[in-house]
Structure 1
Amino acid sequence: MPVPLGLSTTSDSQRIADLSQVLETTPLLSPPVPCAHKDAELASYTSQTTRSVLWDETKILLKYSFPVFGTHVMEHSIMMATVISIGHISTVALAAATLGFMTANVTGLSIVQGMANTLDTVLPPAWTSDQPQLVGLWTQRMSEFTNPVLALWFHAEPILLGLNQGPEIARLAGVYLKWASLGLPAYAFNCVSRRYFQSQGLFTVPTRITLFIAPINIFLNCLLVWGPEPFCLGFIGAPIAASISYNFVAVASVVYGVFFVPRTAWHPITVRAFTNLGYLAKLSFGGVGQLASAWWSWELVGPSSSLGPVPLAAQSVLITTSSSFYQAPYALSIATSVRIGNLLGERNAKRARVVVKASFLIVLVLATLFSCTLITFRRSWGYLFNNDPEVIQLVAAVLPLLALVQICDDGSGVVSGILRARGEQVLGALLNIRHATALILWIPAYYVVGLPIGLWLTFKWDFGLFGLWWGLNIAVVSAASAGLYLCLITDWDKEVDKVAARLAVDKRYKPVDEEHTH
C-alpha cells in the first residue's frame, strides 16, 4: 500500500544504510535516493582517463536525454496537433492560429518556462546534498511565482488590431487565446512538477504521463475540430483540446507524485516556503530574460504578419518545424543541467567540466543530422501542415536557411542548460563583470544584431521571409559563439563553493516545527 507523503516507515539509521548503497549506475526505472558524499566514486573518477570519463558522461547524458526528449515530443505534439488540425481548415485560419500561438508564447508560455528553468539551478544539487528535502521546498517556493496573468489573453483582439493586424486574423487570434487560456495554469504547474521529478533522476515519470495523454489530445483534436455534430466546434476546437490535455497532464502528475513516488524529496508545507524568495526572484527574472531574449525574437509577430497571410502561414510551418526539431537539444540541455547540478551537489568539479565537453559533442551530431533531414525533404515538408501551393513553395525555399539556423541554435540551447546549472541566468551573469564582454555579444545578438538586420533585409531589400531568417542566422551564430566562451571560462571549483553556500542558507534554519506543518 503506498505510503502518504511526509510519513516515515523506516528508521533514520536504516535509511542512511540504504542510501550508502546507491551508486551512479542506479537504473532510471528505479527511483534513486540521494547520497551526500560518494568518496568511493570520486576516487574512481580520479583514476579514470579523460577519454574514459568523457565516454561515461556521454552515455549518462544520453540516458537522461532520451526520456526527457520523449516528454517534450509528446507535450509538443499537443500544440503540433493544434496547428495541423487548424491548418487544414484554411490559410487564414492557420495564419490566425499562428498569430495567437506566437502571442501566447511572448506573453505567457515563455515567461512560465523561463521561471521554471530556475529550478534547474537549485533542485539537482539539493538532491545529491545531505538535504534532499530541499527539492520539495524549492518546488513549493517556485509555485508561488508561476501564477500568470490572463487578462491580456482575454483582450488580445483590440491589441492585435492596434498592431495593424488584419481584422479577421486579429478576431480569430483573439478567440484562439481566450480558449487557450483555460490550459495556461495547468501548463505552468506541469513545467514545475516536471523539474521536481527530473531532479531526482525520475526522468521517465513525465514521459509516461505525456505518452498517455498525447493520443487523447489527438483524439480530442479530431473530435472537436473535424468530428460529427454536436462535437464539431471548428476553429475553437483545437485550443480547447490543448487546454483539456494540459489539465489532464497536471492531474496525472499530482496523482503520480502522491501515490507512486518515494517521499525522499518531499518537504512538508510550512512557512519555510516563504523564505529565501529574494534569491529565487532574482534567478527567475534572469531565467525569463535568458529564455525570452531568444524565444521572443523567433516569433517575429509583427514583421511576418505584415507580409500577408501566405508568409504568415509559411512562418507558422517554419517555426513549428524549428520548435519540433529543437526538442532533442532542449532535452539534452535539461539533462546537462541536471547532471552538472548533481555533480556540483557532490562537490565534483572535475567531472562537471567533462560533462560540458560531452554535451557539445552530442549536440553537434544532432544538429548535423537534423539539418540534413530538412534539406532532403524540403520540397514535401509543407504538406504536413497545409495544402496551399504558395505556402508549400515558400516553405521549401526558406527551409535551407532553417537548416543552417539549426546548427548554432541547438548549441545555444545546450549553453543555456550549462548556465542554468551554474545559476548564471542573464541577470546573474550581468552581475559578473568578468562575463561582460561575452554578454555584450550574447544578449544583443538578437535585438541589436540579428533582428535589425533581418528587418532591414525584409523591408528595405524586399527579401520577405528570407530576410527574417538571414537575421536569425546571424543572431544565433553570435549567441552560440558568446555562450561557448562563457562555458569555457567557467571555474568549476568556484561553482562548487557557490552551491555549498546556497545550501548552507537553508541549513541554518531549524528543523520544521510540527505545529507549523499543514
Structure 2
Amino acid sequence: MDYTGNSEESQQLILEHGHRDRADSRQASVEGERDNQVINGFTLSLAEGAEELVSLAKVTCPFLMTSMLMYSRSMTSLYFLGRLGKVELAGGALALAFANVTGFSIIKGLSVGMDPICSQAFGAKRWAVIGQTYLKTVCLLLLASIPISCLWLNAEPLFLVLGQDSEIIRVANVYLACLIPELIAQAHLHPLRCFLRCQGKTTPFTIASTCCVVLHLPINYLLAVHLNLGVKGVALAFACSTLNLNAALILYLILSDSPLKPWDKTTFQSIFRGWKPLLDLAIPTVVGVCLEWWWYELMLFLSGLLDNPQSSIAATGILIQTTGLLYNVPYSLSAGLTARVGNALGAGQPSRAQWATIIGILLAFVFGLVAFIFTIMVRSVWGRLFTGESQILDLISTALPLLGLCELGNAPQTAACGVLTGIARPTIGARINLFAFYLVGAPVAVVLTFTFKFGFSGLWLGLASAQGSCVCMMLYFLFKTDWTQQVKKAKELTIAAGHEDDDLEASFIVSDDHSHTT
C-alpha cells in the first residue's frame, strides 16, 4: 500500500499552519488567547477535531505498518529459537531479556530525548536545530553502546547470581555476544527514524523496513540452519537486518531532493553546543523507558524461580513477545501523538495539541478493549505458533487473558506517554512509572506469586495493577495541563537547543518554500 500521498498531505498541513501562525505574531497571540478560553470551557471545534484525527491517522498508520514489520523480526527469531530446542528458546529469551534491560531500553530511551526537540523545532521552522540534535543523539548513543557491550561480554557471573540454569546461561552468553552489532546498528537507526518522523516522512522507513523484513527470514535460515550457526545465526540475523535498514535510509537521504538532511549545512562546531536541552530530556526519558521495560524483564527473571524454570522462562519469553506485538499499535499512536503535539505547540496552536491528545487517548482505549478480546479468543492456539511443548502451552493458555487485561491499561498509558514526550515533560512519566511499576506492581506480583501461591498468573496480575495505576495518574496530569503555557515552553526549548542567530536556518527556510517531498 502506498502512503506517499498521505505523508505529503500531512506534512503540507503542518507547514501551512506553521506559515499562518508565524506570519503575524499579533494574530497568533490573539488566537492563543482564544484557544485558552475555549479549552477552559471544554468546547473545541468539531471541525478542528476531525481535521486533527485525519492528520494523526496519516502519521500513525504508516508508522504502525513499519512497527509491525520490524517486530515481525522478533517473532521470526523466536520461531527459529523454538525449533532449535527448549534450552535454546529459554536461553535466547533470557538473553533478549537481559539485552532489553541493559541495552536496548537505554538506547531507545536516550533517543526519545530528541523527539520533543525535533518535533517542536519542525513546527517552529528551526531547521538547523533538527540536524544538530540528530547528530548529537547519534554520538550519545554510540558512547552509551561501549559500556553496554562490555557488560554483555561479561554477563555470566550476573546470571549465576540470579540463580539461572547453567545450560540456559551458556546459550544466553553466546546470543548476547552476537547481539552487539545489533546494538551499534540501533544506535544510529533510532535517531534517524526520529529525524524522518518529526517531518511526517514515514513512507521511506515503511518501504525500507518492508524490504528488510522480507530478507530477514531467508537470512535466519541461511545463518541458523544452512550454515549451522544455531543461536549465533539467529542473533547475527538481527544485526544484518538493521544494518540493511540503515543503509537503505541513508541511500534515500542521499538521493532525495528534500532540503532537510541530517548532515547538510550542520557545522562540526554545532555538535558541541546546546547539549543541555537534549540531556535534560534524554536522561529522565531513559529512566522512564527503563523502569517500564525492566518490569517485563523482572517478570522473566522471577519466572526462573518458579517450578520447572525452563518452561516458565520460555512461556514468559513468548508472552513478552506477544505483548510487544500488541504494543506496536499504541506505540505507533504514541509516536504520532509526539509528532503532532510537538508540531502544534511549536507552531503556537494549543487547541490543536489538545485535540490530538483527546483523540489519541480515546483511540488507545478502543484498542485496549480489542486486544483484550483478541487474547481471550486465541488463548488455546497462540502458543502453538512457537512451540509444541505441552507445559509451555499450558502456561501460555492460562496467562494470555491476563495479558489482555494488562492491555486495557497499557494502551492508553502508552499513548499518554507520547503526549508527555511531545510537551517535553519526560520527568513526569519517569516518576509515574517508578511509582506504578515498582511501588504498586512489583509488590503485588511478588505477594500473589510466592505468598498466595498464584504462581505464573501472579506475575501478570501484578503487571495489570501497575498498568492500571499508571494510566490513572498520567490521565490526571494531562487533564490538568495548561496548553497555552506549553506553547511558551516549546518556544523556549527550541531556542535553547539551537541558536537564535544561527544563519543555517535562513538557508533552510528559503529552500523550504520551494520543496518538501516525502
> Would you say same fold, with TM above 0.5?
yes
> In the alignment, which residue of structure 2 is the partner of 1:136?
131
Per the alignment, do residues 261 and 100 of structure 1 end up closer, same or farther by CA in structure 2, a change over 3 Å counting?
farther
> In the alignment, which residue of structure 1 is the partner of 2:289?
291
Of the structure 1 ranges 372-381 and 69-78, higher mean CA displacement relative to structure 2 is found in 69-78
Could you tell me whether the CA contact under 8 Å between 1:360 and 1:414 is conserved in 2? yes
Show structure 1 runs of 5+ residues with no match.
1-24, 431-438, 514-518
Per the alignment, do residues 470 and 205 of structure 1 end up closer, same or farther by CA in structure 2, a change over 3 Å counting?
same
Distance in structure 2 (CA, Å) of the matches to 1:246 and 1:163: 31
Distance in structure 2 (CA, Å) of the matches to 1:510 and 1:450: 48
Shift of 1:88: 1.8
Per the alignment, do residues 244 and 110 of structure 1 end up closer, same or farther by CA in structure 2, a change over 3 Å counting?
same
Could you tell me whether the CA contact under 8 Å between 1:198 and 1:338 is conserved in 2? yes
Of the structure 1 ranges 260-269 and 69-78, higher mean CA displacement relative to structure 2 is found in 260-269
Normalising by structure 1, report the TM-score. 0.87
Shift of 1:261: 5.2
Distance in structure 1 (CA, Å) of the matches to 2:178 and 2:494: 42
1:62 and 2:53 correspond? no
Distance in structure 2 (CA, Å) of the matches to 1:417 and 1:30: 22
Shift of 1:263: 2.2
Match of residue 277, structure 2, among 268, 276, 279: 279
Shift of 1:49: 6.0
Could you tell me whether the CA contact under 8 Å between 1:129 and 1:346 is conserved in 2? yes
1:400 and 2:401 correspond? yes
- Counterpart of 2:84 in 1: which secondary structure? coil
Q: Which amino acid aligns with 1:38?
A: R
Match of residue 252, structure 2, among 239, 251, 256: 256
Shift of 1:466: 0.6
Normalising by structure 2, report the TM-score. 0.87
- Counterpart of 1:507 in 2: which secondary structure? coil
Q: Which amino acid aligns with 1:126?
A: A
Any residues of structure 2 matched to 1:34-433 within 5 Å, and which?
34=15, 36-39=18-21, 50-147=45-142, 148-149=145-146, 150-227=149-226, 231-260=227-256, 262-264=258-260, 266=262, 267-300=265-298, 301-307=300-306, 308-426=309-427
Shift of 1:447: 0.7
Distance in structure 2 (CA, Å) of the matches to 1:384 and 1:496: 48
Per the alignment, do residues 269 and 70 of structure 1 end up closer, same or farther by CA in structure 2, a change over 3 Å counting?
farther
> In the alignment, which residue of structure 2 is the partner of 1:433?
none
Distance in structure 2 (CA, Å) of the matches to 1:279 and 1:417: 18
Distance in structure 2 (CA, Å) of the matches to 1:130 and 1:214: 34
Per the alignment, do residues 401 and 270 of structure 1 end up closer, same or farther by CA in structure 2, a change over 3 Å counting?
same
- Counterpart of 2:164 in 1: which secondary structure? coil
Per the alignment, do residues 377 and 415 of structure 1 end up closer, same or farther by CA in structure 2, a change over 3 Å counting?
same
Taking only the aligned residue pairs, the percentage that are identical comes to 27
> In the alignment, which residue of structure 1 is the partner of 2:503?
511
Could you tell me whether the CA contact under 8 Å between 1:270 and 1:512 is conserved in 2? no
Distance in structure 2 (CA, Å) of the matches to 1:84 and 1:55: 42
Could you tell me whether the CA contact under 8 Å between 2:253 and 2:261 is conserved in 1? no
Of the structure 1 ranges 165-174 and 75-84, higher mean CA displacement relative to structure 2 is found in 75-84
Of the structure 1 ranges 54-63 and 236-245, higher mean CA displacement relative to structure 2 is found in 54-63
> In the alignment, which residue of structure 2 is the partner of 1:492?
483
Q: Which amino acid aligns with 1:247?
A: L
1:28 and 2:28 correspond? no
Distance in structure 1 (CA, Å) of the matches to 2:8 and 2:123: 18
Distance in structure 2 (CA, Å) of the matches to 1:26 and 1:273: 34
Distance in structure 2 (CA, Å) of the matches to 1:429 and 1:194: 22
Q: Which amino acid aligns with 1:28?
A: S
Distance in structure 1 (CA, Å) of the matches to 2:191 and 2:124: 20
1:148-184 deviation line (CA, Å, top 9, x unaligned):
1210111112221122111110111010000011211
If asked which structure has higher relative contact order (CA below 8 Å, sep 6+), I would say 2
Could you tell me whether the CA contact under 8 Å between 2:379 and 2:400 is conserved in 1? yes
- C-alpha RMSD over aligned residues: 2.4
Distance in structure 1 (CA, Å) of the matches to 2:127 and 2:71: 31
Distance in structure 2 (CA, Å) of the matches to 1:403 and 1:53: 33
Distance in structure 2 (CA, Å) of the matches to 1:127 and 1:265: 13
Q: Which amino acid aligns with 1:245?
A: S
1:451 and 2:442 correspond? yes
Could you tell me whether the CA contact under 8 Å between 1:134 and 1:265 is conserved in 2? no
Distance in structure 1 (CA, Å) of the matches to 2:156 and 2:176: 9
1:291-342 deviation line (CA, Å, top 9, x unaligned):
1111110112420122211111110111000000100110000000100111
Per the alignment, do residues 253 and 348 of structure 1 end up closer, same or farther by CA in structure 2, a change over 3 Å counting?
same
1:41-97 deviation line (CA, Å, top 9, x unaligned):
988x98996322222222221221111111111111222211111012211111111
Distance in structure 2 (CA, Å) of the matches to 1:184 and 1:49: 45
Show structure 2 runs of 5+ residues with no match.
506-518
1:412-446 deviation line (CA, Å, top 9, x unaligned):
110110000111112x678xxxxxxxx4x552111
> In the alignment, which residue of structure 1 is the partner of 2:510?
none
1:209-240 deviation line (CA, Å, top 9, x unaligned):
1111001111111222233xxx2212221101
Could you tell me whether the CA contact under 8 Å between 2:113 and 2:279 is conserved in 1? no
Per the alignment, do residues 29 and 411 of structure 1 end up closer, same or farther by CA in structure 2, a change over 3 Å counting?
same
Tell me how many residue pairs correspond in the alignment.
476
> In the alignment, which residue of structure 2 is the partner of 1:475?
466
Could you tell me whether the CA contact under 8 Å between 1:290 and 1:425 is conserved in 2? yes
> In the alignment, which residue of structure 1 is the partner of 2:516?
none
Of Structure 1 and Structure 2, the greater helix share is in 2
Could you tell me whether the CA contact under 8 Å between 2:10 and 2:59 is conserved in 1? no
Distance in structure 2 (CA, Å) of the matches to 1:261 and 1:217: 30
